[in-house]
Homo-oligomer: A and B are copies of this chain.
Amino acid sequence: MKRVAIAPGDGIGPEVIPSALEILRYYHPEWEYIPVYLGYECWKRTGDALSDKTLETLRKADLILFGAITTPPDPKYHSVVLRIRKELDLYANLRPVFGEGFDILIVRENTEGLYSGIEWQEKDRACTLRVVSLEGSRRIARFASACAKRRRRHLTIGNKANVLKSDVYFLEICVEEAEKAGISIDKKYIDSLVLDVLQHPSRYDVIVTTNIFGDILSDAAAFLEGGLGMLPSANIGRHQALFEPVHGSAPDIAGKGIANPIAAIRCVSLLLKYVGEKPRALAVERAIQKTIADGIKTPDLGGTATTDDVGRAVLRNLQAE
């Protein structure tokens, strides 16, 4: 029995989440699903993008299925996603990227580094503190090592230790944890790592790195899959996890019913893997592949199907397994 918070958010979020939710309900009709209202629209209506009450609901959830948030240009607006990551201490951000001949899992530290929030302005300069803590590094290193152990037992540590002493620190801790886990490692500077992932993706298994490097690396790696449109992500904490398609709220196509729900549905696949139901996770991925192969595709993939057409086709394929 799980409590699942459903937070569609803005733009195409409320259009793609229902398709994903239907797949999840198919496997788990017995779970409790709690709708949650947050984001930019919510902010415009209530003056609060993420109320304390909503945050409390999220805190009590085992799983969170998240849509997308429109970020207003207002610099005083604080990112809802960042706030949730911090408040719920969702310390591991996972971005799987796979395709013909490669299968990479990017594990990004999700709570510190340049996202410390420790910032100040002096007379004629602005400063941000990059914080790499022992505990923060150890838990992400352990997490990534454990992932690698269940996969091809190799961990690449993305770093800039040739420039940053804080990355010498990060690197040492990662090496230690990888050794304890008995997996092989290599260390790569983040600049050449980004390029090498693009040139030789098959060389990589799990990649662990600090917060902002992971942010950039994941988007670069999305190039291998043709962009952000189809990628899911997971934000994992000690007792709970949030799943979020990588694409944004896409206001330009919102309201037309043509948004591609595949990233959101893949979030369900990640979620199922997270709760230990790997065969089901794989079944969802197969059902997606079959849907695409059958030509049931939204306009972004060159098709004419609607969001619901794709969602229904995936579900049908699952039922037919």
The answer to whether A134 has its CB under 8 Å from any CB of chain B is yes
- Contact, CB under 8 Å: B220 / A114: no
The answer to whether A43 has its CB under 8 Å from any CB of chain B is no
- Contact, CB under 8 Å: A125 / B132: yes
A78–chain B nearest beta-carbon distance, Å: 10
- Contact, CB under 8 Å: B190 / A216: yes
- Contact, CB under 8 Å: A195 / B169: no
Instruction: Compute how far the CA of A213 lies from the CA of B130 in the bound complex, rounded to whole angstroms.
Output: 14
Q: Which listed residue (B199, B213, B216) contacts A223, Cβ 8 A?
A: B199
Instruction: Compute how far the CA of A127 lies from the CA of B125 in the bound complex, rounded to whole angstroms.
Output: 18
- Contact, CB under 8 Å: B220 / A166: no
Instruction: Compute how far the CA of A23 lies from the CA of B12 in the bound complex, rounded to whole angstroms.
Output: 57
The answer to whether A164 has its CB under 8 Å from any CB of chain B is yes
- Contact, CB under 8 Å: B129 / A129: yes
Q: A220 to chain B: which residues have CB within 8 Å?
A: 194-195, 198, 220
The answer to whether A82 has its CB under 8 Å from any CB of chain B is yes
- Contact, CB under 8 Å: B218 / A164: no
A interface with B by C-beta (< 8 Å):
71, 75, 79, 82, 114-115, 119, 121, 124-136, 160-166, 168-170, 190-192, 194-195, 198-199, 212-213, 215-216, 218-220, 222-223, 227-228
